[in-house]
Amino acid sequence: MLETVWLIPLKDLDDDARAIKLGDVAAMELAAGQQDFVGDPFKMMLMGLEDESRLPYVIEAAGAAVGVFTLQAGAATLAGWPDDDSAWLLRGFLIDQTRQGRGLGSLSAVAAAREAQKLTARLGGGQDGVVLSVNERNPAAKAAYANAGFLQTGRYLGGSAGPQWTMYRGFGD
């Protein structure tokens, strides 16, 4: 049975609650080879807190932090999308090594797309969906995104870790 995931927006927390969540993030572990595809989760969350266009989230399941991601407005071309403004960029998506293989990646990716849709409705950004890039050497992540309704739309060669697939999930999907 799949768990329920909760998305905790770090920018909406007070300083004490944010510090607790960042402590949870600092304890997350990357699987072997995962460092090639995603940066340090703690640093990613700090960068997200500093950048106005980024919204960092902690993913929780069963009362524990299990992952992180960031939604970014105005940056979709970083994933090989043709323009920056028609889609949210999903970046820095990570499920803690000890929680992988349970379907939490797909469940969290669906939740991230729903959150992006709510943000568009609330902020009026005009985005129609969410785009991401996934490294060609990371088939498990590509499968998780596909299970979450993301469709491969092209190939992106701009990533520092090598060729990537551009994947997109529209809000109507």
Pairing of the two strands 54-61 and 87-95: unpaired
User: Domain limits of the chain?
Assistant: 5-170
Which pLDDT value is given to residue 30?
76
At residue 166, what is the residue type?
T
Tell whether the model's pLDDT for residue 1 goes beyond 60.
no
Pairing of the two strands 64-72 and 87-95: antiparallel
Q: Average pLDDT in the 14-20 region?
A: 96
3.30.70.20, 3.40.630.30, 3.30.70.600, 3.40.50.1220: which CATH number matches 5-170?
A: 3.40.630.30
Give the pLDDT confidence of 52-102 residue by residue, as tens digits. Answer: 999 999 999 988 999 999 999 999 999 999 999 999 999 989 988 778 777
User: The pTM is what?
Assistant: 0.91
CB 164 within 8 A of CB 80: yes
Give the pLDDT confidence of 40-55 residue by residue, as tens digits. Answer: 889 989 999 999 999 9
At residue 29, what is the residue type?
E
CB 6 within 8 A of CB 61: yes
Q: Average pLDDT in the 125-154 region?
A: 92
Tell whether the model's pLDDT for residue 36 goes beyond 90.
no
Q: Average pLDDT in the 97-119 region?
A: 89
User: CA 63 to CA 70: how far, in whole Å?
Assistant: 20
Confidence of residue 2 (pLDDT cuts 50, 70, 90): low
Tell whether the model's pLDDT for residue 125 goes beyond 50.
yes
